[in-house]
Structure 1
């Protein structure tokens, strides 16, 4: 999970909350993936792979031809970018091209051609169209990047439908991927159930969250976990995250969220 690849670091924040990675650090990380033999897929490819692997675990049927091109002996990674910032086009994409890596970018559709909440420039329409031709995959990150949990159901539906429509008009193909803005309220079972139904009802088939960890065949496709990455991730830390050594943090966070939710209700 990346956001910005830029020289303008947000080092005034605690390392856990930073979202900026310098170009030098980003290239180091991509070089590590390449040298370690990772197969980098788009999110939609990875979700299809997880689903096929899940089916193969449940039956003895042969894997479908749609995933026979994937090498199951190689580690697999998906590189995602939230917010739709312009430095993806100017800085991150040229580095990805150098390694022939794919990426999935989630656009805040109402801020295309504008400035993001943090002051960074967002992607322009023409840049998005160019990236589509270079096989960059796009998904929705809502229209306005709101705290969805604080919205009414109708407002949530608007954010999902409108952003989908706006992005589809630019890229020319259906949008089926979604990235949840801000902290994902996984401790709230009622909300996540309702939100998952809204996503499904409006054409979304997979999505990612801010929940930490490696995604597995047992995860719900609409609420996949990710590994947050920023400039603090040197190669040792980056390697450890990819190996699953960061996944323990998810259990601790989820327990904390549930306890806080209980206490807030008193």
Structure 2
């Protein structure tokens, strides 16, 4: 009997000790969580936000701009030759970029790099497409997929579902498979001629339509013909776009995020010429 009471008392002492240690551990846990949260909050407060001058001073990421991917012959007009790349040449260019070690990035990553000094992969590049052509899906996206490349498709919404243009289903699939769908106005009228309700027609409504199709925010815009003026930038901002893309002309010193440079890939270049142009155009 004595042994029974001795064991009982010993068990109660051990249990009380365990409970005390558990209570001490529980008291310490909230303090540890608080410390972690404070560190996270400080990191958020200390996040870099670059001004326009700093953004302009950063090394540019090469951004390629494709339009048509189709065959043409020597008798084709100069505009066709500049704005069209033959399918075999496009395939060779994607392979050359991969072999050279390029990695595609998308606009959100470019924004973080420019504004918050976010990281980039080695040899970053962005591949973009204008004007909603159907072969950008059937040839462009399919060829890029071989190398794990993703692209940005700037869509003019008047063309959706027309023959030889992207369908709603193709736009949705491009978005769902990791590409970015962005706006290129309703009908490709140049921004420098807008007035009155043009801003709503060409900026606001296309954005809403593409968001309805993709189910994701549309935050990027490309100027038709690459033409822009300072009067357009406040309207583009007001319409909810985070960045806007021009061609290989001078960027705006006040709003460089709304004048991101791109290079048209000409159909008159061979693969070696395209690679050299990519390096020289974006080298500061």
TM-score of the alignment, normalized to the shorter chain, above 0.5: yes
Aligned pair 1:131/2:131, yes or no?
no
Residue equivalent to 2:110: 46
Instruction: Give 1:152 deviation, angstroms.
Output: 1.2
Distance 1:126 1:15, change over 3 A: closer
Provide Cα deviations, 1:169-191, integer angstroms capped at 9, x if missing partner.
Answer: 00001111000002414xxxxxx
* Length-normalised TM-score, structure 1: 0.75
- How do 1:106-117 residues align onto structure 2 when only pairs under 5 Å count? 106-115=154-163
Q: CA separation of 1:11/1:127 partners in 2, compared to 1, >3 Å: closer, same or farther?
A: farther
Aligned equivalents of 1:10 and 1:180: distance in 2?
30
Report the equivalent of 2:132: 84
Partner of 1:98: 146
Equivalent in the alignment of 1:170: 213
Taking the aligned partners of 1:156 and 1:10, their CA distance within structure 2 comes to 40
- Counterpart of 1:90 in 2: which secondary structure? helix
SS at match of 1:240: helix
Give runs of aligned pairs for residues 1-266 of structure 1, distance below 5 A.
1-8=65-72, 12-14=76-78, 18-53=82-117, 67-68=118-119, 70-71=120-121, 74-115=122-163, 121-185=164-228, 192-212=229-249, 220-245=256-281
CA-based RMSD of the aligned residues comes to 2.7
Q: Deviations over 1:139-183 (max 9, x none)?
A: 000011112222314213321001001111000011110000024
The one-character-per-residue Cα deviations of 1:222-241 (angstroms, maximum 9, x if unpaired) are 11111110322212211221
Judge conservation of contact 2:190–2:227 (CA < 8 Å) in 1: no
Query: Which has the larger helix fraction?
Result: 2
When structure 1 is superposed on structure 2, of 18-27 and 151-160 the one drifting more is 151-160
- The aligned length equals 220
Once the 2 structures are TM-superposed, how far is the Cα of residue 245 of structure 1 from its aligned partner?
4.9
1:84 deviates by: 1.2
CA contact (8 A) 1:143 1:160 kept: yes
| Equivalent-residue separation in structure 1 for 2:206 and 2:74 (angstroms) | 28
Q: Distance in 2 between matches of 1:172 and 1:127?
A: 14
Q: Secondary structure at the match of 1:113?
A: coil
2 CA distance for matches of 1:86 and 1:227?
21
Flag structure 1 segments of 5+ consecutive residues without an equivalent: 54-66, 116-120, 186-191, 249-266
TM-score (norm 2): 0.70
